[in-house]
Amino acid sequence: MKHDSAKQIKLGMILSYLNLGVGNLIPFFYTPIMLELLGQSEYGLYKIAGSTTSYLSLMAFGIGSAVSRFIIKARTQEGKEAEERMFGLFNLLFQAVALLTLIVGGIIVWKLDLIYGASLTAAELSRMQILVGLMVINTAVSFSATSYNAVVSSHERFLFIHSINILSTIGAPVLNLVILFMGYRSVGMAVVSLSLNIIVRLVYIAFVRKSLDIRPRYKGMPTHAIREIFEIETDDPVEYVRQEGRFPIKEVTTDENGDLLVDIHRNKQENPGDYDRIFAAKIAFDRVVL
């Protein structure tokens, strides 16, 4: 099990860097073609719509990074049933967040003319409402499956996670160009983004249910943990990783560029049980802090 976990981490790190490289390389070829096909005016509408809906990510109230931690804690302390009850609690929380996102987003779409009515034509405003509506739904879909993503992450299935990320990184621009060549422009790009997001979330749900054999339990959920979940997000994240994560962190400093440096005990003889988790600790720390 430990060997498999270490292998997952190593392969996950390799795929993560590969995804980073692909993600940085694609725009050099994709962006000029996309701008030529889309046009600067249409691209401007698309970017404004994205900026308008980006604030909806705050609807999660900062609890997104807590999901994996609490699921891992429940599994290691009380077993699979406790993990599934915690999973059920988070799943309900994020369904509520998704519903709230749709309501707030719907109000934004309804009142867009008050924000952009003076600067956009009637046709542009109508298109903007469609774009924002699609992006609101996209955000809600992401929230609705957050707990499933966290379960996969908590089981350290990094090979699966980064494989899906790479496919999404490559698939999105390719499908966007196909849609643009067909003449669907910004609305088509928003539909592609929403469709890919739905497919990815369904794949995650299927993976959790079939491969991990884990399902959310709604009976006996640890509702007492809700207060702790919200409180933990206001704590010092470095101290949390040090105390709750039980990872062998010696010191946290910054380099000359202001980047965070984590000095971790690496003595295999002193901590044989934790040694395989050192890189997992670094990955988890990066996600929480950076």
pLDDT tens by residue, 183-221: 888 999 999 999 999 999 999 999 999 999 999 998 888
* Average pLDDT score over residue span 275-287: 38
Token reading at 125:
């405003």
Cβ atoms 248, 274 nearer than 8 A? yes
pLDDT of residue 188: 92
Q: Please, where are the H alpha helices in the chain?
A: 2-38, 40-54, 67-78, 80-110, 112-116, 122-144, 146-154, 158-181, 185-206, 225-232, 237-243, 278-289
Give whichever of 127-136, 152-161, 268-277 has the largest mean pLDDT. Answer: 127-136
Question: Above 60 in pLDDT, residue 287?
Answer: no
Percentage of the chain exceeding pLDDT 70: 76
Average pLDDT, the chain: 79
- Where residue 232 falls among pLDDT bands split at 50, 70, 90? low
Q: Is the pLDDT of residue 289 over 60?
A: no
| Better pLDDT: 56 or 274 | 56
DSSP string, 32-62: HHHHHHH-HHHHHHHHHHHHHHHGGGGGGTT
Task: For residue 254, give the DSSP letter.
Answer: E
Q: How many CB atoms lie within 10 A of CB 11?
A: 14
Average pLDDT on 169-190 reads: 92
125-134, 225-234, 243-252 — most confident range: 125-134
Kind of pairing between the strands at 249-254 and 260-264: antiparallel
CA dihedral (150, 152, 158, 159) positive or negative = negative
Least confident of 138-142, 149-153, 224-228, 285-289: 285-289
Q: Is the pLDDT of residue 246 over 60?
A: no
Instruction: Calculate mean pLDDT across residues 151-173.
Output: 90
Residue type for position 12:
G
